[in-house]
Structure formats: C-alpha cells, structure tokens
A and B are shown apart, each in its own frame.
Chain A
Amino acid sequence: MPPTTCVRCQTNKAVVKRPKNHHKLCRDCFIAVFEDEVHHTIVSSKLFYRGEKVAIGASGGKDSTVLASVLKTLNERHDYGLDLVLLSIDEGIKGYRDDSLETVKRNAVQYDMPLKIVGYDELYGWTMDQVVETIGKKGNCTYCGVFRRQALDRGAKTLEIKHVVTGHNADDVAETVLMNLLRGDLPRLSRSTSIVTGGSLNDVKRSKPLKYAYEKEIVLYAHHKKLDYFSTECIYSPEAFRGTARSLIKNLEKVRPSAILDIVRSGEDMARLTPDKGQGACACDEGEGMGGCGSADAKTSGNDLAQMEASLKEKPTANGLETEITSNATPKVIDSDDVVKLPIRQRRSKEPGPVQLQTLGKCVKCGYMSSQAMCQACTLLEGLNKNRPEISIEG
C-alpha cells in the first residue's frame, strides 16, 4: 500500500489513524487537532478565568500527564493567564507510589510547574498501609476511593486553590454512564456526565477538560509527544472489577468508533431527563481520573456485577418490574443522593459556567460537602479511629 498523505495538511505522510473518526493524519496535525479540540472544550464550557489558580490532579499516569502537557501548551499558546500547579496525592502505600511520584517530580521540572504532594497521613491521619493493617484487604477499595475523592479537594484547599482539573477522558465518562444505567443510579448518571462539578458547595470546583478525548488518542498523544508517564495498577484493588462496562465499551468502540462519544452524548441527554432534572453536579463520586486505584477498570467501587446484583437483591423492588408498572406510584428507593437538593446544572448552551448551587450540606466534622451530617470520609475515619488502640497493642 502506498503511504497515505495527511488529510489535513495534504503534505506529510500520515502516521496516525485517529481512533475517534479514522481520519489519517501526520504527527504534527494529530497533535494540533488534539490540542485544538481540548481548547475548544475549555473555551466553550468557559472552564477557566484569567488569573485563575488551577491545580492539576497529577498521578504520573497517562491521563494526567497529557492533561498537564496540553494545559501548559494551551495556556501559553492562547494566553489563558492560568497559574498551573501539579497536585499529587500520596496514599501511603509503600513501594506503590514511589515510581509514580518520581514521574510527577520529573513532570514538574519538564513543565516548569510547582508541585505539591499531600499525604493521606497529613489529610486523614492514616496511610493506606495503616488502613489495610487495621481492616484487612477486603473492602479497602471503599476507603481508598472515599479518601481519594476528598484528597484532591482537601489538598487544593491547603494550597488555597479553588479549581482542580482531572484527567477523566471520554472512555471514563462513557463507562460511568453505562455503569450507572446498569446499577440504576440516575442521580449519579446525571452527575457523571457534567464537565464541571462541585463549586462553592465544597469551595473547590472540579472539571475534566479531556472529557471528550478518547483514551486511545491520549495514549497516542503521549506517545507522539514523547511524554514521560508511568502506568501501574493500584495494588490495593483486589476487588477491582475487570470486564463489565469497560470491556463492553471497548467492544462497542471496535464496532463503531463513534460509540464512545455517542454514549457521552446519550448520558448528557439522559441527565436532563432524570427526575431531579440533572441537579446534583457534585464531585462526590467520581473516580479520580488520575491513575492509581481507579485506573482504567474500577473507577468507583461497586463495579462488580456480582456485588451490584447482591445489592439489588437487597432492595425490595429488585425482583420484578411489577410494582413499578402495574401501579403508577413509583416506590421510591431512598438513597442519600435523593434526599438532598444538590446544585442545578445549568443549560450550558445558553449560559456556560460552573453550576449554581442551591441547598448545601456540610460535614459537621470537616466541612466537606455532604448529604449526611457527617461525610463518608469522616464516618470511615471514626470507625478506623475506634480500632486504633488494637493496632498499638499489636505494634
């Protein structure tokens, strides 16, 4: 086969077939197109304002490394006037974070960005290793997930930064859409699709500038830009489920590459059809999009079909559609997400910008946004702290 020329510049040899639409591009054009698309997302969603201090949740993994590289490039090219900082979390898992933190440290030098590493010990008084010593390996993904969710926000607060960007990509969003349909979680479905979450509710706004970028293109971008990144799986995710939504998405992508974006589109549209009208754009249950525990296969706990099935069986309505269908009164499954009025997601088509906030609940202990009196992290910590004496006896 003769070498194909790039469809964009019509000059150079095409070296990339874009996973997203199969356009054949040369290296430079691919990089330019990728960056232009992220720029468009940033501008059309009005993600930033001039002079804003923004923390990039950095794990050393591909998503956050690409995010840091692209943001640095765009910030200079389009003169966003952003003050970018790398923010990394050290869960305190011996040997696990060492290499990825080394990567982040090199990134800080490469991108000439300040780096702040915050440890679970300083945020919670517990490292993950200590948590595992106390409760064993089973269930620790819950802890890791809950702690991680807040870690970036808490870390940003220590830096007095009000905006954290994460490396969630289109595959992540599509996966969350399918997972939430499978587990029947409409509030979470509507949250998971919005590009900006949080806001003044917990003082820290979260956004995902790579929301429309294909994972495969992120890998290609990292490859062609020769970015320095690290890939690993969290060693504390024995329950991390492989296969379900993620492999379904990969199969769909093979059949029709546009499927990933089409699922994101469907998710956004369905968010507007949920009974609470797309309210509730908080960041409280996103995966973290920055490698580590949630990387690739298990963004959130409960991805396991068997776990999900078991939890469905506990609900009285799970064993048939009868109750829903024969009567018009829908038995409402009360779930913490349903109780609290969370922020309204605005119609971005008309008025882009962060979500507006309605009623807010804050954790009595730490002040973090919460639908309960005490947030999940503090609840878990309370349980852990009760067990603390046992450790000191053993140790």
Chain B
Amino acid sequence: MAASCSRCKAPDAKFELRNVATCENCFREYVDSKVIKRFTVLQRETRASPKPEPRRYVAGLSFGPSSTALTQILDKTAQYQASRKGSSPFEPLVVHIDTDLSHPADAHDTPAQKLLARYREKFPNVSLECVHLSKVLSVNTIDWTTIPIPGDGSDVERLRQFFSSLPSVTSRADSLRLFIRHLLLHVALERSYSALLFGHSTTALASLTLSEVANGRGFAVPWQISDGLFAVCTYRRTADPASAGESSQEESKIQFPIYYPLREILKNEIVTYLSTMPSVQDLIPSPDKASSSVVSHKDQSIEEVMARYFDGVEGPYSGIVTNVVRTAGKLDRLETSQYCRLCGITLDEEGDSTWAGELGDDPADSSLTQSKGKLCYGCKRSMGG
C-alpha cells in the first residue's frame, strides 16, 4: 500500500518527491509553483517602472520534455493572468528553431511545423512559432567575418557547408547551440520582447556547466548558467568588398535578460510531471532509439557525454547535480571591454595571455590568427579543432 501524501495527506501518494511521498496533484503543484516563483523573480528583477507593464517573454522550445513543460506552465500562467482583472498582460511567444537543413528554409508542412501545430492546439494561451535555423545568417549579434561561412548558395546550403567543414561532432553541437541561442535572442530583440527563457532543468544546467568546462569555456560558465542580464553586442556588416577580411564594427551593446525558470527542478521530476498529463506528454517525440544505446565515441559530442554522465548521476546523487549548479553560480561574472564575436561572452584577455605564455604558440593555431582577439578560447577551439 502506498503511503499517504506528506503534503495534503491524501491517501495513495503515487510519487516520491525530494524523499517524501507525494500525490499527483501536489507533485504538479510543486513543479508549477517552483517555476511561477521564478517568473515572479524575473518580473521583479527586470521591472523598469513600478507601474504594471506587459510581460512579453520569448521561450525556446526544442520539443524535449523540459521545454515542453515550460510551454505548459507558460500556457497555464497566461490563462490565469488573462482571467484576472487588472493584472499586467502575460504574453509568451514560444519559438521552435527548426534545425533540419534537408529542406529549404521556406518549405511548408515540415515535420517541425506539423508538430508545432499540435502544440498550438494544446496550448491556446501562448503564441507558437517555427523559425528556420538558416535565419541565423541574418542575425547581427554575431560578427560573421570571424567564422568560416561560405559565401555562395542558399542560406541553407551555406549553413550545411559550414557545419560539414567543422572538425568534430562537438564543434558542430557547440556551434549549433550558439546559433539557436542567437536566433532566439534575435527574435526577442527584433520584436521588443522583454526577456528570453530557456527550459533547462537543474540537471541540464549541471550538464551544461561541465560541458562548458570541457569545451574550454570555464570563463563563460557564470554568464552561461546564471539568470540575469546578458550583454548583447550587435555588429554592422561591411558591404564594401574592399574591407573583406576585416572584422565588422561593433555597433551597439545592450543588456538583455536571459532566465532559466526550470532551474530548480531535476530532469526526472520533469519527466514525472509530464507523466501526470498524458495529453501533453504525447506531444513529445520519443527520443531516437540510437541515441540511448551505446554509440561509438567518434559520433558523440562532449555535450552528449556529459548528458549521459548526469543521467547516471541524477537518480542516486541528486545533491551533486544541484551542487554543481549552485557552485557555478557562485563564480564571479567578470566583465571586460571586449566580447567574443561568436558566443558573445566577455573576452578573457588575461587568461589568453597566461595560457599562451604557458603552452607556447601552437603552430596549428596559426590559421586562426585572423580571429585572434575576437573569438574566445572555446570558440576558437570549436572553429579550429
């Protein structure tokens, strides 16, 4: 016989939540309230005036469990706010970036669009939109002169060539992640939204932390995983062919809020949460069979190795997962005057010169001298090796 719920005393608590028996209702409520609390923090920290102002947020949707849960909670919150008289409007825009480069950017009825249509039916209180990855090429928060994007062909073709020119699966995964981030940021800025939300769970943030470390991006960790304002530079494109090879001018710099509202919820808690809502759970495409079995290391990215590692750690050792995120959050966010022209993180000149001094010049890096002083260590690694 199952224990009774330690929260509401209902009999037959089906779940265990942070070591105590919990019923379905209380489990859902727990997750909802954790996320809604983060919305409140976001509102408080980004409020420009004491008057109620519309809360217009862009959220990324990958169709995975976490971002689906975020969409569900955004929908619920929007519905609730709309029902309340006098509350400030809550207007979420949920954006899926379609990374499928096998069809043209303007194709209709793509698998992603079809799936998004089902999400639209299920979540009537949020706007949902599909944006093709190739749109990233028109984003001006990346200085495109610093990375090897071929000039000819359609945007989809150029991206495809770029990805296939990268030296490893990890480089591709790393660049793809950055592109998605830039594109979402672009949508938010272009349409005057007030914040960008990601659906990362505690587990995903822990995994992101260690991936960043293993990608040589330790310096970026506090920027990457904390909630708050993030410096965003935009670059002007030089159309003049005479200036080819020169980097673009930095045009402007603004501060934009990026938040992870699911940061206090573990991945397996999100899975349980969704299991209590079969109609939502059914939306999520089942993961590729191939990715769950052991694949050759050659085909894996550092991101995937880390995700697997934390899948193993989370169950019995959830305190460690939480600890990684908390520890990373204690690191200072160091600000310098220069920013990486790909990932947008402040450049670590001191670290670069110390490192160069200790390791000596790697001749293999000489092809990248063009990007010297413009890309961070991690981005140079991704572009070059």
A392 touches B (CB below 8 Å): no
Among the stretches B55-63, B147-155, B177-185, B322-330, the one at the interface with A is B322-330
Question: Out of B301, B317, B385, which one reaches A308, CB within 8 Å?
Answer: B317
Please state if A44 and B323 are interface contacts (CB–CB under 8 Å): no
Per-residue CB contact flags for chain B residues 351-375 toward chain A (1 = under 8 Å, else 0) read: 1011101111010100000000000
Please state if B319 and A324 are interface contacts (CB–CB under 8 Å): no
> Given A256-B302, A305-B313, A347-B354: A181 and B359 within 8 A (CB)?
no
Please state if B169 and A181 are interface contacts (CB–CB under 8 Å): no
Please state if B322 and A259 are interface contacts (CB–CB under 8 Å): no
> Given A265-B377, A266-B214: A324 and B326 within 8 A (CB)?
yes
> Given A186-B330, A252-B302, A255-B301: A269 and B37 within 8 A (CB)?
no
Please state if B214 and A259 are interface contacts (CB–CB under 8 Å): yes
Please state if B214 and A269 are interface contacts (CB–CB under 8 Å): no
Please state if B323 and A255 are interface contacts (CB–CB under 8 Å): no
Interface of chain B: mostly helix, strand, loop or mixed:
helix
Q: A308 to B324: give the CA distance in the assembly, Å.
A: 12
Please state if A266 and B18 are interface contacts (CB–CB under 8 Å): no
Q: A352 to B333: give the CA distance in the assembly, Å.
A: 25
Please state if A349 and B327 are interface contacts (CB–CB under 8 Å): no
Q: A182 to B329: give the CA distance in the assembly, Å.
A: 13
Please state if B319 and A321 are interface contacts (CB–CB under 8 Å): no
Among the stretches A200-208, A219-227, A311-319, the one at the interface with B is A311-319
Among the stretches A89-97, A132-140, A270-278, A287-295, the one at the interface with B is A270-278
Please state if B264 and A325 are interface contacts (CB–CB under 8 Å): yes
B175 touches A (CB below 8 Å): no
Q: A266 to B376: give the CA distance in the assembly, Å.
A: 12
Question: Out of A312, A326, A349, which one reaches B323, CB within 8 Å?
Answer: A312
In this complex, the interface size class of chain A, counting residues with CB under 8 Å from chain B, is: 35 or more
Please state if A268 and B41 are interface contacts (CB–CB under 8 Å): no
Please state if A263 and B327 are interface contacts (CB–CB under 8 Å): no
> Given A44-B358, A306-B317: A320 and B350 within 8 A (CB)?
no
The interface residues of chain B lying within 8 Å CB-to-CB of A186 are 327, 330-331
Please state if B323 and A256 are interface contacts (CB–CB under 8 Å): no
Question: Out of A181, A319, A320, A325, which one reaches B327, CB within 8 Å?
Answer: A181
A99 touches B (CB below 8 Å): no
Among residues 205 to 226 in chain B, which have CB atoms less than 8 Å away from a CB atom of chain A? Answer: 209-210, 212-219, 221-222
Question: Out of B219, B309, B332, which one reaches A266, CB within 8 Å?
Answer: B219
Q: A324 to B202: give the CA distance in the assembly, Å.
A: 13
The interface residues of chain B lying within 8 Å CB-to-CB of A365 are none
Q: How distant is A130 from chain B, measured CB to nearest CB, in Å?
A: 35
Q: A305 to B317: give the CA distance in the assembly, Å.
A: 7
Q: A305 to B217: give the CA distance in the assembly, Å.
A: 25
Which residues of chain B have a CB within 8 Å of any CB of chain A? 18, 37, 41, 168-170, 202, 209-210, 212-219, 221-222, 227, 263-264, 297-298, 300-302, 305, 309, 313, 316-317, 319-320, 322-334, 348, 350-351, 353-355, 357-360, 362, 364, 377-378, 381, 385
9 additional contacts (CB under 8 A) given A272-B334, A326-B41: A177-B213, A185-B327, A261-B359, A265-B355, A266-B214, A266-B219, A309-B316, A320-B18, A321-B325
- 6 A-B pairs within 8 Å (CB atoms) are namely A40-B359, A41-B359, A252-B302, A258-B385, A269-B348, A275-B332
